[in-house]
Structure 1
């Protein structure tokens, strides 16, 4: 029966040799000291030779046969890592399908894309914009490899990476005719988390509303707000960048909850690479 070497055990051996300490090696590989001691004992039994020189329990180096074996161990571990990395890297013709809300392209998302290209030069992205609800559904169904979307704070699948504080902006100086007590809204189409939060808060306080303008892009929404068509619920940080004025207190609009920014990653062969790209997006969001 062929003898098989365990990669994790080889990593433990290399750590012990480099650090000359079982306890520090255990910290590096994330195991207990007793666990890696047992690994080395089994390994020495498997190869039939002592590998480490010890004095009073302390590691002072490797035996002659141990030095020969450690050289092989380094090659095996390195080859293992190269093989895994090669399989996780998409083929040259394969693209990572990334979905983001359309309004993020009109923020500073271009710098995030530049960071992805700089840190993942092999990444070939296929970018699609859509409403957050559709992006979350598509990544769940595997139609996207990675999706960055907005939602109400929840415990659903997908990693929460940031929260956006929401406020009301605009006025109603040019709002379409309607009932005097109905709040004229400027919003994205159904499926947008900003719109859903606006409607949730109005329902909770028993306020009526009308959709005065349904915008298909951030620039169109901002233009409608500036034209006085109604009020928009938007992230405070985004509105500040766009120099929007807060809604006047006399409008008596209800308080808004934060909106969660989340990352969804589909299972599949591109999962590891998508996680790397998702990590960059999460990092950039935390710095924004």
Structure 2
């Protein structure tokens, strides 16, 4: 006899596994805690398995059997959401231009584009990488519909009406894994020419009396990443974005503290605004977890 898994129950199971609690899962799904608890109970009784460990002192965690189900559940829910997205989404058509600085194109942009294309298959998205100032200018001139920027954060600073702050992060000194370039004087730096972090980093070094020089002259992030990973230079980076071969430098106070950086979202005020706002939903979701 065929037996069917309920997708709503699986969604609750995944939410509990992700959040570590019934109440947190209920809040995420806009359900009551008792509803989620009852769904999980029925799922465990129906399968004859204990799927969640409630007594490990670290919140609710999947059991070995629960881990197996979790992988299947994620796949089933993703397929379900893709079907609904493709068949029932508003019939938006057209094209959008999305601008992202090279230093934050990973890790979120691929998932943003994949999920948006799943739900809005008739919309074409053109991706542009450029410096934050150029991207802001592009929005102002109607050349970009939606852009992300990295900007030095100033407490109390107000953004334009068409912009919002997605995150604020403390910049870190980064270098090659186990590297020693940060000990060199003058200090070798690896920044693209238009990087907004470059001038604040230089100012921090000069205030600390540390000499420096540009070890890279490029408009692309790839040469700066390669140079840094080769232990030829160091650079300032946001902690949420990882690059192979790089790590935060444990400089023990021998390098000056760096300023905070904000990741901002700008949306066009032109005729494409409604469609751009749809894409903005996916961007917010990615950056705010």
The two structures have a TM-score, normalised by structure 1, of 0.59
Q: Which residue of 1 aligns with 2:213?
A: 210
Would you say 1:170 and 2:152 are equivalent positions?
no
Q: Which among 261, 266, 269 is matched to residue 268 of structure 2?
A: 266
Structure 1 stretches lacking a partner, 5+ long: 1-84
Task: Kindly report which structure 2 residues correspond to 1:1-288, keeping only aligned pairs within 5 A, or say none.
Answer: 89=92, 92=93, 94-153=94-153, 154-157=157-160, 158-170=163-175, 181-190=185-194, 192-239=195-242, 242-249=244-251, 252-287=254-289
SS of residue in 1 equivalent to 2:224 = helix
Determine the C-alpha separation between the residues in 1 that align with 2:124 and 2:283: 15
Determine the C-alpha separation between the residues in 1 that align with 2:228 and 2:107: 17
Structure 2 stretches lacking a partner, 5+ long: 1-89
1:200–1:113 CA distance, 2 compared to 1 (3 A): farther
In the TM superposition, residue 198 of structure 1 has moved relative to its aligned partner by 1.8
Contact 2:175–2:181, Cα closer than 8 Å, also in 1: no
1:280–1:196 CA distance, 2 compared to 1 (3 A): farther
Determine the C-alpha separation between the residues in 1 that align with 2:235 and 2:121: 39
Contact 1:103–1:217, Cα closer than 8 Å, also in 2: no
In the TM superposition, residue 151 of structure 1 has moved relative to its aligned partner by 0.7
Contact 2:108–2:287, Cα closer than 8 Å, also in 1: no
SS of residue in 1 equivalent to 2:190 = strand
In the TM superposition, residue 185 of structure 1 has moved relative to its aligned partner by 0.6
Q: Cα deviation per residue 1:130-175 (whole Å; 9 max; x = unaligned)? A: 1112111211222211111111124232211112332101278579
RMSD after superposition? 2.7
Determine the C-alpha separation between the residues in 2 that align with 1:163 and 1:233: 15
Aligned residues: 192
SS of residue in 2 equivalent to 1:127 = strand
Q: Which residue of 2 aligns with 1:67?
A: none
Contact 1:183–1:210, Cα closer than 8 Å, also in 2: yes
Q: Which residue of 2 aligns with 1:65?
A: none
The two structures have a TM-score, normalised by structure 2, of 0.59
Determine the C-alpha separation between the residues in 2 that align with 1:113 and 1:209: 39
125-134 or 149-158, larger mean C-alpha shift? 149-158
Bigger CA radius of gyration: 1
Q: Cα deviation per residue 1:224-280 (whole Å; 9 max; x = unaligned)? A: 1121211111112224x6352333426811111221111111211111111121121
Contact 1:161–1:282, Cα closer than 8 Å, also in 2: yes
